[in-house]
Structure 1
Amino acid sequence: MTSVPTRPVTQDAELTASYLQDARSVIAGLEDATVDLWVPDQRSRALDSLWVLSHRLHGTAGLYGHPQTAALAALLERLMEGRAGLNSDSAVPILTAILERAMTCVSSALNRIEQDQSEGDVGLMFASLDGPAQVTELLRTQPFELEARQAHSEEQGEPPFAVVNAAIWEDFGPEAAELTAALRIGLHADIPDLTALFRAAHTLKGSSAMVGLAELAEVGHAMEDLLGAAREDAVTLDRAMPLIDDGLSLVDTVLAHAEGQVREAPHARIQAYRAAVAALLSGQDPATLVAATPDVPVPAPETRLSVRVDSSRLDGMLDDVAGLVAARARLNGLFLRQQQVAASLDAAHERVQRTVRDFEERYLNPNLTPGGAPAGTPLDRQPDRRAPTDLGLQDRLADFGALELDTYDDLNILARAVTELSADLVEIRAQTAQVISTLGDELTGLEKLTRQLRVELSRARLVPLERVTAPLHRWAKRRTDLTLRIHGEDSLIDAQYAAPLGQSLLHLLTNAAVHGAQDPAERAAQGKGTLLQVTVDATVADGHLRVTVRDDGRGLNFDALRQRALQSGHLSAGELGKMTDEQTAQLVFLPGLSTAGQVTQEAGRGVGMDAVRDAVARLGGRVTLTSRPGQGTAITLHLPVAQQIADVLVMRVGSQRVAVLATQMQGMSVLDGEAPEGSVDLSVLWGEERAGQRYVARLALPVTEDEGTLNVLVDEFLSLEEVVLRPAGTLLGGLEYLSGMTTLNDEHGHAYPVAVLNPSGLRRTRAAARRTQLNAAPSAAHILLVDDSLSVRRHVGRSLERFGFTVSTASDGQEALERLLAGERADLLLSDLEMPRMNGFELLRAVRSSPAHATLPVVIMTTRAGEKHQQLALELGANDYLAKPAEERLLQRRLGALLPGAEGRA
């Protein structure tokens, strides 16, 4: 048994939550294994599980600074080392009594820790329950041998996490490796996307804590803190970069240790790393706190997908492969027959050439007749060039009359040759037709075989949804504030979707628990039960998986969503004021937006719903959301069951071919008159000439978009094809209206590329082009920028000039008002609120009091994004209200909408 260092009790709430999560998971496993002890066939496996779980609790409790729990777990582990001598009916009752007392003590300690207390006197409690006496009785009545401690440590060592949790590791291992690779690649990109990096670290931390790998959760938490500080400009990325790189190396070490590739546990390095991160975030030099332990070479983790396939299904695929081998042999026979036909055709062709050549030599160039025969001599009477001329024979043949011996002139010989050639060609044609017919039959059979094999391979990749939902049940069991029900766990999904779908569902359940929580009194007043009810319903239909997470909680706080959207600079007060509740609900998908009151381990980071939408979009799916205040929220994930091979509708755009997934097609019709509002003309996008007759394809859009359907104009609908989808690649990957590429064959068998369209990307492309057109600011538009900060005036002023405006600035409201009253021209006033001499409210009231400027558009841009400030500004006559710092595209959009002529441009 390895020694466990004793550390003081940690006060970190997130680490405590990770420990409680893992320890309760161990207790649940101990309970199950104790029950299995009473089943003779299961006893051996149960004893092994008890040893593994005791060892796990021993190490985890020691790591998190709970020595008494670790000591009790060590006692159980020591007893289980002699499990080979405990596999008897007489040992089960007393062993069960010991385990039950130990679990009671550990559960009590966990309850105390959850209430922010110490673990308590675990040893004394075990003694008061007569635990030591039970152990003594076990040793007396069931004598068994325990291996020497040192020998056990050397021979067996510590069981790797991946072995103890093989079923979990099958999904988690590739996911952790993928997240680590994404972090490493994104960190060293030319322009690192801090939001994506932060989200990946957040997901790594959450997934690690979920499966009970506390060491990795600690490292992920530290990297998340670093990236969060860099995203919020609390620390520069250059300064944080070395520590993030160290964290990624430490992640590799933890994963290698979990798989048993590295024997020494990296506990000391993890604690030193967390201390270094804390030092950097507090403004200290972290260099002296980084562990001096050299990095252990770690093999690159594999990200290959593994699935379990039923043997009967493998037998079916082997039968299909055998059919393919037989079909290949038959096709090879047809190929040999076709070669023989080709040889016959070559021989006939040679005969034609020889006959034509002789005829040409005789008539086209009489001077070159063979053997010097005079022109007009029949071909059969010309001298043989291979033998000397026999003049005597020719004289005697001339004595025969017409009835005594047939003679042939040139036309007779040519006609006979053509007749023979025609007969040969008829035979060759019949042989070719037979081969083609047989070949067609073989190709049809081969197509059936390949389709059947494709179906079987696709099914082999399918796993039941319960593989995804098993951790969700464990998560729910540890909570006392909700009840979780999951329906449709027998639904099958592609194995590659398991990890991202599981993480997305965990995000949704966490959101339901945090944002949907209500006081029992509030729930009772609304006629609800005491506990929050959360259900997960999964169904598969038409090749798509639909998973709905529904709760009966408080629902979305629309006012808080609008407030946070304004504070984060995503939208202005004017835009938010025009949004319906359904549109407001979609704000939860904005990056970095959270309505949580404070940052905790479960909420407040603003990465939940954004991460869910992005993860589902990467799988080719979409997310829909509905919410009613006081009644709850329902979020549905729509995912294809398999994505590599799909049916697409091929369409023509000029000389080009494009396609859309058949499942996205809602309808098609002939364009009669004007195109529907908001249509996307693919001829314009591809730069092709428009056809005289046009057609409209109606494509499905996620409900999270402003529209449920996108109308696309094409020149012709061609065919429905089954294709293999491929990524667009590096060159075309930046075109968001492409979801992938495929290839098809024309009527001559030549392959050509086909772009597969992404309706959501097409809509965004259309909207971006429209915004560019709408926001093209007239050159004469003049903006008066009022702010007491010189840096703000310079930064915002340069942005406005890039938009095409002319800009003048004022340092406070008094200066701005004096310049306006003096006759300075301004098409729009953009003002801060907090300024010396005259603040923004006073300036706004003075401007509206001036008849000459009563209709002047005024936009307030300030750090004060509270409802009270907004309300007063709008009451005083502000046209719009922006939170500072305003995102440039938002600023351009809102100013362009208020300037003279904006309506005409719209």
Structure 2
Amino acid sequence: MTDDLLQHFIVEARELVQQATDDLLALERDPSAAVHLDSAFRAIHTLKGSVGLFDFAPMGLALHAAEDLLSAFKSGQARLGSDMIDILLECVAQMDRWVGHIEGNGQLPSDAGEEGHRLAAGLRSQLGQGAGASASVIPEADTDWIEDLLTTMGDREGSNPHAGSLIAIRYIPRADCFFAGDDPLGLLRSVPDIVTLSVTSREPWPPAAEIDPFSCNLLIEALSAGTFDAVRSVFRFVPDQVTLHELSSRGTDDVRSTGRDRVANAEAVASGTSGARVIRIDAARIDRLADLVGEMVVAKNTLAHLVSVSDGMDRTELLRAIVTSHAALDRLVGDMHRAVTDMRMMPMREVFRRFPRSVREISVQLGKAIDFSMEGQDVEADKSVVEGLFEPLLHVLRNAVSHGAEPEAMRVAAGKSARAKITLRARRDADRIVVEVNDDGRGIDPASIRRTALERGVVSGEQIEQMSDAEAMELIFAPGFSTAEKVTDLSGRGVGMDAVRSSVERLGGRIGVQSVPGRGTTIHFALPLTVVMTKVMLVHVGDETYGIPMDGVSETAFVPASRILPFQEREAFVFRDRTLPLVRLADLLKIPSRAGSGAGTKVVVMWVGDEKVGIAVDGFAERMDVLMRPMGGILTGMPGLMGTTLLGDGSVLMVLDIPELIG
């Protein structure tokens, strides 16, 4: 079993799980939509087939039951109801969790067998069948049949020459196994080195005239002297119908105490395998990159030719040729940057489509009626941005359902529709992507925020009095605003929102809130479209040069000394009729500054959160696109540093995280 095959299975399994989820949610809205029923059945069926290749028996057991239930819907033998959708979604969600565990560990968790039986029993109960309808797996504690086989073998041979290398097999084919293309006796003939064999009926045989020749009623038990892997390979396509036990090398007199049970899925497929980062790319984008590489090779050869003939060239002619070659390389590097950026772009659909199931689960648990919609799913952003949005968006959506949306009776009394509306949307705004979560719930009351902020000591009474309503609502993102206690006055918006802001800022974005009491709330994220190349401004502080990401820079200015005013133990300055805090970068970095107390100060005006702050520097330098590398080694996690890049002269430039330095 190769790692590549396992990784392909993981990628495909995630897609099939998501497809099944989408179709089941669509069926819940419209049970008559045959196209979604067919699509869900195909996704479950395909996933079951893939699982069989890897001997993940508990997954196969649950998926087979889900497939039977969907098949009953297709044939009209069962009617689709909310309970059935619930258990099917629960099964699909468990598959998603198991795929994640397989990606990290190469195998299923230790409790997968028990959970697989529970899911299968719940699914089959919807068809009026008991858990035993699967007729597949026998509890591991039931080993009497192994002792019977050993006794039979001992009676026949008088001794056990195979002690220490026996595999006990119990194979109970499904009743409809012939229709699935299975040949139980054919499989049995493929088992190596069978020592003893017992073939009986699973259930009492009916009268001869009533026997169904197309229904399998066999119970097959055997002992094999072959290896465990060889025996398991024979039954790899029917793992949910087989139990295997490897007997102890100490003898066979006491199977229960000396036998070591090994079910088919227990072996790690890829021991120690860590999750690979996989992205699917349009072939046209790869072709474009290949074309650019070809042009780069031509440009390199041109430069090599120029070097070889440079001794005989006139200085002016040589300079002109170098400038021309540089221009060609500059164009190609820019084109290649855009091509690589395009390859990393993913539609927001990849993260958005994971939320309908989560919103549904939360709303069902809380007994709230929610109409959830999504817009802008085709808007593209960098892969790291799209994937990094899942946790913060899930938290905001959870708050919108659990605290923003009022109970139905309260909504009707307020003149609203009984069902709360929550919308998740994305849109492109210049070189940034804006993602919003909007609800028409109770909104956020600024007065309640002020009271809670004072009670928890987030701000002082004097600061509260000077805040506008919009500024007061921003306090929900303040560290310390939230506690473990349930918030009742504030619609729960403060719970964990500081962590949400931190997650968004790590992606290079900003977060804000707008709310009208009684009418709803909008949480909006503004994030960069790409993080492959970063545009930075170089600034001088003392004898050092640092980079500041341009994403947060509003403008640069020269502030006269007369406009810089002391404020308590800090400084502020008046800029465009607004008073902004002034922070000296030299003080933040604890390095000496070369700036004197002359006519004024050079300032970078930038966004820190949703507020503008002036950063005093000794001088400005050029702006450039850089390929930023994260901090590594002993500098990993160093506060205030986003990463490093190499400059043209070979020196290392450190790119600063100004908001983190200030915080």
User: Which of 344, 348, 353 pairs up with 1:465?
Assistant: 348
TM-score by structure 1 length? 0.44
Question: Does 1:620 find its partner at 2:508?
Answer: yes
* Aligned residue in 1 for 2:533: 645
Q: Distance in 2 between matches of 1:609 and 1:152?
A: 58
Q: Distance in 1 between matches of 2:187 and 2:511?
A: 52
Q: How do 1:794-809 residues align onto structure 2 when only pairs under 5 Å count?
A: none
Deviation, 1:26, is: 8.1
* Aligned residue in 2 for 1:497: 385
Deviation, 1:660, is: 2.1
Q: How do 1:631-780 residues align onto structure 2 when only pairs under 5 Å count?
A: 631-674=519-562, 676=564, 677=572, 678-684=581-587, 685=589, 686-690=591-595, 692=598, 694-703=601-610, 708-729=611-632, 736-745=639-648, 750-764=649-663
| Structure 2 unaligned blocks of 5 or more | 1-17, 52-56, 90-119, 134-177, 191-235, 241-260, 565-571, 573-580
Higher relative contact order (CA 8 A, sep 6+): 2
Deviation, 1:493, is: 0.9
| Amino acid of the structure 2 residue aligned with 1:552 | D
* Aligned residue in 1 for 2:65: 74
* Aligned residue in 1 for 2:294: 322
CA distance 1:35–1:551, change in 2 (3 Å)? closer
Contact 1:650–1:660 (8 Å) recurs in 2: yes
Contact 1:739–1:756 (8 Å) recurs in 2: yes
Q: Distance in 1 between matches of 2:30 and 2:45?
A: 10
Q: Distance in 1 between matches of 2:290 and 2:631?
A: 33
Question: Does 1:49 find its partner at 2:43?
Answer: yes
Q: How do 1:807-818 residues align onto structure 2 when only pairs under 5 Å count?
A: none
SS of residue matched to 1:751: coil
Q: Distance in 2 between matches of 1:451 and 1:530?
A: 53
Q: Distance in 2 between matches of 1:437 and 1:503?
A: 54
Deviation, 1:646, is: 1.9
Q: How do 1:293-692 residues align onto structure 2 when only pairs under 5 Å count?
A: 299-338=271-310, 341=311, 431-477=314-360, 479=363, 481-556=369-444, 581-590=469-478, 594=482, 608-674=496-562, 676=564, 677=572, 678-684=581-587, 685=589, 686-690=591-595, 692=598
Q: Distance in 1 between matches of 2:66 and 2:373?
A: 37
Contact 1:701–1:709 (8 Å) recurs in 2: yes
Alignment deviations for residues 350-395 of structure 1 (CA, whole Å, 9 cap, x no partner): xxxxxxxxxxxxxxxxxxxxxxxxxxxxxxxxxxxxxxxxxxxxxx
TM-score by structure 2 length? 0.59
User: Which of 179, 182, 193 pairs up with 1:147?
Assistant: 182
Contact 2:645–2:654 (8 Å) recurs in 1: yes
SS of residue matched to 1:679: strand
Alignment deviations for residues 765-801 of structure 1 (CA, whole Å, 9 cap, x no partner): xxxxxxxxxxxxxxxxxxxxxxxxxxxxxxxxxxxxx
Tell me how large the CA RMSD over aligned residues is.
5.1
Q: Distance in 1 between matches of 2:658 and 2:404?
A: 32
CA distance 1:435–1:123, change in 2 (3 Å)? closer
SS of residue matched to 2:609: coil
Contact 1:508–1:608 (8 Å) recurs in 2: no
* Aligned residue in 1 for 2:142: none
Q: Distance in 2 between matches of 1:296 and 1:305?
A: 24
Q: Larger radius of gyration, structure 1 or 2?
A: 1
* Aligned residue in 2 for 1:101: 79
* Aligned residue in 2 for 1:782: none
Deviation, 1:329, is: 1.0
CA distance 1:105–1:534, change in 2 (3 Å)? closer
Contact 2:536–2:626 (8 Å) recurs in 1: yes
Q: Distance in 2 between matches of 1:607 and 1:558?
A: 16
Contact 1:487–1:537 (8 Å) recurs in 2: yes
| Amino acid of the structure 1 residue aligned with 2:182 | E
Q: Distance in 2 between matches of 1:149 and 1:568?
A: 69
Q: Distance in 2 between matches of 1:641 and 1:485?
A: 23
CA distance 1:126–1:318, change in 2 (3 Å)? closer
| Amino acid of the structure 2 residue aligned with 1:483 | D
CA distance 1:752–1:567, change in 2 (3 Å)? same
Contact 2:285–2:343 (8 Å) recurs in 1: yes
| Amino acid of the structure 2 residue aligned with 1:472 | F
Deviation, 1:502, is: 1.9
- Structure with bigger helix share is 1
Q: Distance in 1 between matches of 2:536 and 2:614?
A: 17
Identity, % of aligned positions: 25
Q: Distance in 2 between matches of 1:744 and 1:76?
A: 58
Q: Distance in 1 between matches of 2:87 and 2:630?
A: 52
Deviation, 1:311, is: 1.7
| Amino acid of the structure 2 residue aligned with 1:690 | A
Deviation, 1:698, is: 1.0
Deviation, 1:732, is: 5.2
CA distance 1:99–1:641, change in 2 (3 Å)? farther
- Structure with bigger strand share is 2
Q: Distance in 1 between matches of 2:438 and 2:534?
A: 30
Q: Distance in 2 between matches of 1:29 and 1:532?
A: 19
SS of residue matched to 1:642: coil
SS of residue matched to 1:648: strand
Q: Distance in 1 between matches of 2:188 and 2:515?
A: 56
Deviation, 1:742, is: 2.6
| Structure 1 unaligned blocks of 5 or more | 1-20, 65-69, 81-93, 112-118, 133-142, 156-259, 265-290, 342-427, 765-906
Q: How many residue pairs were aligned?
A: 470
SS of residue matched to 1:695: strand
Q: Distance in 2 between matches of 1:728 and 1:533?
A: 43
CA distance 1:731–1:671, change in 2 (3 Å)? farther
Q: How do 1:225-240 residues align onto structure 2 when only pairs under 5 Å count?
A: none
Deviation, 1:626, is: 2.7
Q: Distance in 2 between matches of 1:32 and 1:518?
A: 22
Q: How do 1:5-24 residues align onto structure 2 when only pairs under 5 Å count?
A: none
SS of residue matched to 1:674: helix
Contact 1:534–1:550 (8 Å) recurs in 2: yes
